[in-house]
Amino acid sequence: MLQPSAFLSLLFLLAAAARGGDYSRADFPADFVFGSGTSAYQYEGAAFEDGRTPSIWDTYAHSGHSGGATGDVACDGYHKYKEDIRLMLDMHLEAFRLSISWSRLIPNGRGPINPKGLEYYNNLIDELISHGIQPHVTLHHMDLPQALDDEYGGWLSRKIVKDFVVYADTCFREFGDRVLYWTTINEANIFSVGGYDEGASPPGHCSLPVQNNCSKGNSSIEPYIVGHNILLAHSAAVKLYKKKYKSTQNGFVGFNIYSFWFVPYTNSTEDVIATQRAKDFYIGWLVDPLIYGDYPRSVKKNVGKRLPAFTEYESKQIKGSIDFIGVNHYTTLYIKDNPSNLQIDNRDFDTDIAIEIKFKQGNELPDQYPIRPWGLYGLLEYLKQAYGDIPVYVHENGQLARRNGTLYDKSRVEYMHTYIGSMLDAIKNGSNTRGYFHWTFLDCFELLGGYGLSFGLYYVDLDDKYLTRYPKLSAHWYSNFLKGKSTSSNAITEVGDSTFVRQTG
């Protein structure tokens, strides 16, 4: 629940947003990093090249889930990374968030290292470092090697813990002399719910009450088993890092979740309590164990016996096993209490929360997100209140748009301008936020809509065999900001006037 101080801060923020919130790079702490990001399957392409084997995301995309689109070629980052790093340099990007494709580095998930995969990631990391761009590396971005899913059910089995630790060990050993910021799992909560409850992301499992034509799954229990195994695997990898590498490499290992911000639909007590429950399920479910050693009370109560329990040993290993929390935040939802969901048979994650999501402006998804920068402020403020001073990285934040060929992405500029401004307000109010990564650098393969939707600062011309990159208005705006220029609305107009607008089709 919002504390009175948070409420006052929120009012302050709304006033700041109304002012237009002019600020500059220099207003942020000197060691704060601004970057952008992508993930292996969405960016690299070369899916069948140099020994890489399929991941569960390859399989999911190839079975038509993204309207036939796949990451087989994507942005061809496997071959074009040097060109892209040049663009990052021109933009003054300070950090780049990337992920390693497990099945490129260790084909089939276990066994010998693929020398070509090792060479690619060494080159990519070296290229970033030699240009002064900090690599922030994620180990698992929805792309478990398919072989491990086939062999023992992947994340549904505890066998995953051992294989994940060997993979993490390989990455720490091979790249840890240059990589200081590691994230074990991207969007651990959404991976568990999207993949094993809703059937809406790899590996596409679901069962009733979800009606999504999945060939397998058990929505009532699988997301909770997967979440549990993820925590075990994450904490085992962190334990290894601390024992074997921390003293020489001095790096940091964190964990990433997706989080909406949630506000009550009405000010009724029921809606206020339901809103806190939404935070418990989306944030607390996987973050509470990392900080306090156990699941939140409301999650335990509503999920009951379907929620795996930690042994004392596991709880101790998990508690405190993060150096930072990574959050992916895009939008804010309005929450209404819905106790009737607790009456249905075969409950899943979504019904266990017992809420109804209300959109305040009609159907707001999926064309573009409503701009609610105060939601990022609320989220950062909440993380501070719930988890104390632990460092936070905004790992993903950005505006969705139809990919229609225009480079004039004014809504993305407004989104970035206001969300970054909101983050600054949270920092001024004591949030220990240490970095911001705009999602995403280029329009590549998108989880939500293949090549039909985009989040990129650069448009990639898919009809051109060189996959030429074109800066959008947002790339100019971000670059100006990173170069220390003003972010006022005037600055946005200036950028707009000098921008080449390309219309296709």
Chain residues that interact with ligand NOJ, rule: CB under 6 A: 39, 42, 186-187, 328, 396, 439, 446-448, 455
Nearer to ligand NOJ, 401 or 447 (CB): 447
> Whole-angstrom Cα distance, residue 102 to residue 2?
40
SS3 per-residue string spanning 364-413: CCCCCCCCCCHHHHHHHHHHHHHHCCCCEEEEECCCCEECCCCCCCHHHH
Active site residue 187: yes
Quick one: 337 or 396, whose CB is closer to ligand NOJ? 396
- Which position's Cβ is nearest ligand NOJ? 447
- Residue 356 a catalytic site member: no
Quote the least distance from Cβ 230 to ligand NOJ, whole Å.
15
Nearer to ligand NOJ, 314 or 396 (CB): 396
Q: Given 44, 94, 127, 187, which residue is catalytic?
A: 187
**Which lies closer to ligand NOJ via its Cβ, residue 95 or residue 447?**
447
CB-wise, 71 or 373, nearer to ligand NOJ? 71
What is the nearest approach in angstroms of ligand NOJ to the Cβ of residue 69? Answer: 13
Rounded Cα gap, residues 502 and 116, in angstroms: 37
Q: Are 306 and 323 in contact (CB under 8 A)?
A: no
Question: Using the 8-state DSSP alphabet, how is residue 133 labeled?
Answer: P
Tokens of 472: 């959008």
Query: 94, 381, 396, 446: which is the annotated catalytic residue?
Result: 396
- Other CB atoms within a 10 A radius of the CB of residue 424 amount to 22
CB neighbour burial string for 363-392, b if at least 16 within 10 angstroms, e if fewer: eeeeebbebbbbbbbbbbbbbbebbeebbb
How many angstroms separate the CA atoms of 286 and 282, rounded?
8
Give the integer Cα–Cα distance in Å for 411 and 401: 9
Q: What is the rounded CA–CA span in Å between residue 70 and residue 73? A: 8
Report the nearest approach of ligand NOJ to the CB of residue 44 (Å).
13
Taking a C-beta distance cutoff of 8 angstroms, is the pair 84, 226 a contact? no
Residue with tokens 């949270």: 426
> Which residue lies nearer to ligand NOJ by CB, 143 or 280?
143
Provide, rounded to whole angstroms, the least separation between the CB of residue 267 and ligand NOJ: 31
By beta-carbon proximity to ligand NOJ, the closer residue of 71 and 154 is: 71
Contact 436, 420 (CB under 8 A): yes
Counts for the chain of helices (H) and strands (E), in that order: 20, 15
- Residue 480 contacts by C-beta under 8 Å, 6 or more apart in sequence? 486, 487, 491, 495
Question: From the CB of 463, what's the least distance to ligand NOJ, in Å?
Answer: 22
Give the catalytic positions in this structure: 187, 396
